[in-house]
Structure 1
Amino acid sequence: MTSRPDREALPYRDCVGVAVFNAEGNVFLGRRKQDVQWENESALQAPWQMPQGGIDKGEDPLRAALRELHEETNISSVSLLAEAPEWIHYDLPDDALGIALKGKYRGQRQRWFAFAFTGRDSEINVLSPGGGKFPPEFDTWRWERLSRAPSLIVPFKREAYEKVVAAFADIPRRFTHV
């Protein structure tokens, strides 16, 4: 039996999260490939999420968000709508601690950005993102109501996604004029 690292001794990984809204006010969700996060990911029952990724050392979070978005979805036609007012955290579950995120982090501390998608759906390519320069992290994608995102995400990220929904709750109404 291997011992787990001390959760409290591990830092959070600084990352960005990206909520991309289409003209109908729905948000982009990608379905994670099974081999992306950690070896035991087959136990996860809700593999949908919005694009996210690490902030490189010295990188501006907005630039990181645009880079990660392109690397994971091929999307570059966007316009900034909002930034969440604070860092949003999530902790890895016990069975992933010491395994996921290269075993170096307890979870992620994320800066979230909302963008309007100004391109066409044909621009989106999760199977060959970044023009084929990056390995795919998603195997399919869809547009979905922002309010449904927390119910589609892995359970350990739900609280974080509820904060994202709260931060960007007004955005879908901007598109639908309701």
Structure 2
Amino acid sequence: MTRYEDLPYRTCVGVMLLNKNGLVFIGRRAGGIEHVDESHVWQMPQGGVDPGEDTWEAARRELYEETSVRSVERLGEVADWLTYDIPRTVAGRAWKGRYRGQRQKWYAMRFTGKDSEIDVANPGGGHKAEFVTWRWEPMKNLSSLIIPFKRPVYDRVVQEFAALADE
């Protein structure tokens, strides 16, 4: 069995979807072994990058597969890859024990559609729902809503995209 320290990071993308008022889409996770309490179950859309897939295209695909949203324009990108480790207590159960955490490329997108386009119960492409509900949230609140081990990534994403909330 591979030691935790030797496990690779799963390559993923994350999306900060902002509405015209500068509020951020967050979804309440449908479940997952990494969630340790009921107050930190919210997150922005994110997911894996397929082999050979461009990260911008992966971000658009993941957004669609989790929210049904296609009406977006690109606002920005975090230049660095951001990483987080999952707790050792769940590492053997998450992602079949193959990864120690995620390596993420983050994008900011402006939502240009109507809220009725968002459908987390029946997401695009027939994918299984990952969120049970959603809402628009001020960017400054994101860190307090996310599971603690992902907070440094969220703090960096908020720092990188903070000016977009003021537009």
User: Hey, what's the Cα distance between the residues in 1 that align with 2:142 and 2:53?
Assistant: 28
Over the matched positions of the two proteins, sequence identity in percent amounts to 51
Partner Cα distance (2:2, 2:92) in 1 = 6
Output the CA distance in 1 between the equivalents of 2:93 and 2:37: 15
When the two structures are aligned, how many residues end up with a matched partner? Answer: 167
- Which of these residues, 6, 10, 14, is aligned with residue 13 of structure 1? 10
Q: Deviations over 1:128-162 (max 9, x none)?
A: 0006x111000000000111101100011011100
CA–CA distance in structure 1, aligned partners of residues 162 and 81 of structure 2: 17
1: CA distance, partners of 2:162 / 2:2? 37
1:87 and 2:81 matched: yes
Show the 5 A alignment for 1:159-170: 159-170=152-163
Equivalent residue in structure 2 for 1:103, among 78, 97, 110: 97
Say whether 1:54 aligns with 2:48.
yes
TM-score by length of 1: 0.90
Runs of 4+ in 1 over 4 A off after TM superposition: none
Find 2:108's aligned residue among 111, 114, 117. 114
Partner of 2:62: 68
Aligned mates of 1:44, 1:155 — CA distance in 2: 12
Gaps spanning 5+ residues in structure 2: where? none
CA RMSD of aligned residues (A): 1.5
How far 1:12 moved relative to its partner? Answer: 0.3
Distance 1:116 1:50 in 2: 14
